[in-house]
Structure 1
Amino acid sequence: MKESKCVMLGDSSVGKSSVMYRFVRNIFYDTIPCIPEGIFYRDPLKINNESIKFQMWDTVGQERFRSLNKYYYKNAQFVVIVFDVNDQKSFDNVRYWFQQQQQFTLNSAVIIVGNKIDLLTREVTIKQGEDLANELECQYIKCSAKTGQNIIEIFEKIGRIWLSKPQCKEIETPILQKQEESSQKSCF
């Protein structure tokens, strides 16, 4: 089984946490506090005969917290950049989030997610989302964290992208071993 780190990026209030909670717990909360969350795990997802256990890292989109996000990016295999299809500014900022992750990740699988498709108003079209994804050489998918539409598909799609990369590997976890005690005591 591959345990893989997934970082959620995007502006504040686009639904990053909602997408994550829907994926991990199959729950939708109307309100979620804007604080950086810890790590959440989901039961393994079977993709291309491989089991992937997603280690989810939620970030804060608010400007005052953005400097902290780079610490979340380290060793991420997956990057999910979320925008609100009803908010043009959040879509315009996808490039910013893409550039940020490029500075701090190496060979991550990236997907752009247009959230809140359950709402009737649209400021961003499907074609705009697809065109931006093509420009940035990544994938695009639309979803609704509220209804659950396409949530599992996001992670199946990004999992397939990652598994197709030659450098696909598990997170390196250091193994601690007890050192043998020396009969001589020394400060050196």
Structure 2
Amino acid sequence: MTKSGTESYDHILKLLLIGDSAVGKSSILIQFTDDAFDEDIGTTIGVDFKVKYLNVFQKRVKLTIWDTAGQERFRTLTSSYYRGAQGVIMVYDVTNKESFLNLNNWIKEVDSYATYEDHIKLLVGNKIDLADQRQVTKQMGEKFARDHNMVFIECSAKTRVGVEQTFEEIARKILETDSLLDNSAPVRLGDSENAVSLQGEEEEEKESSGLCC
């Protein structure tokens, strides 16, 4: 086990949050990492980045979670962030059918840019607290996930229902996939070859606006 600042960990995992703008990607992330929800959160400009530690299978896991912009104009920017990601969380808004229909485009993007052939994809239907505005049924989400070999969860970033489960589940699936752990060991002095490459990511984090959706 290696220490990062004051935290020790056994594995470091890189996750991406993707999906259309305004589906609640950043709200899910902030609820998970900061236990907070902001109705007036802005739109992500470029990429934002947060860290969270979990205990999974009696292992201490450091999650580095990248929140990407959903707008088309940022596609070339965010494509580079797929590099080294073991897991991708694909988010749609259950009250916005277009965001669900656009999942096919996101699947193509993931398959084009993902480093690991056997990366884990998890589908999240957000905003289930808005039940009277729902346009996408749970059954529709389950079918899409089944057809694309994805884990499926519905959640509410506002009420926190399903949020913790989302990240715990994808972390478990990654740890169960040996080929995704080849580069997940923490950096040790003199052992830089056996680590996820996050070079420059902290600098890139500083360049991101921190405005999210």
TM-score class, shorter-chain normalisation, is 0.7 to 0.9
Q: C-alpha deviations, 1:59-106, integer Å up to 9, x for none?
A: 010122122120111100110000000011000111211221111111
Distance 1:66 1:147 in 2: 30
Whole-angstrom CA distance in 1 between matches of 2:198 and 2:169? 29
Determine if the alignment matches structure 1 residue 60 to structure 2 residue 69.
Answer: yes
TM (norm. structure 1) is 0.88
Q: Give the drift of 1:174.
A: 8.3
2:26 paired residue number:
17
Asked if residue 172 in structure 1 is aligned to residue 181 in structure 2, the reply is: no
* Higher mean displacement: 109-118 or 98-107: 98-107
Higher relative contact order (CA 8 A, sep 6+): 2
The equivalent residue for 2:129 is 118
Distance in 1 separating the partners of 2:19 and 2:137: 18
Counterpart code for 2:21: S
* Long gaps (5+) in structure 1: 176-188
> Shift of residue 58 of structure 1?
0.8
Mapped to 2, the partners of 1:24 and 1:16 lie a distance apart of: 12
Report the Cα distance in structure 1 between the residues aligned to 2:56 and 2:90, rounded to whole angstroms. Answer: 21
Separation (CA, whole Å) in 1 of partners of 2:37 and 2:86: 25
CA-based RMSD of the aligned residues comes to 1.5
SS of 1:66 mapped into structure 2:
helix
Q: Runs of at least 4 residues of structure 1 off by over 6 A?
A: none
Task: Determine the C-alpha separation between the residues in 2 that align with 1:39 and 1:79.
Answer: 14
Which of 115, 120, 127 is equivalent to 1:109?
120
Distance 2:169 2:93 in 1: 20
Q: 1:118 to 1:174 in 2, by over 3 A?
A: closer
Matched pairs, number: 174
Q: Which residue of 2 aligns with 1:183?
A: none
Query: Is 2:151 aligned against 1:127?
Result: no
How far, CA to CA, are the matches of 1:142 and 1:166 in structure 2?
Answer: 27
Partner of 1:40: 50
> Quick one: percent identity of the two aligned structures?
35
Q: Secondary structure at the match of 1:38?
A: strand
Q: Give the TM-score normalised by structure 2.
A: 0.78
Distance in structure 1 (CA, Å) of the matches to 2:198 and 2:89:
26
Paired residue secondary structure (1:56): strand
In structure 2, stretches of 5+ residues that fail to align are 1-9, 185-194, 200-213
Which structure is larger by alpha-carbon Rg, 1 or 2? Answer: 1
Map of 1:56-95 to 2, 5 A cutoff? 56-95=65-104
Q: For 2:135 and 2:66, how far apart are their aligned partners in 1?
A: 28
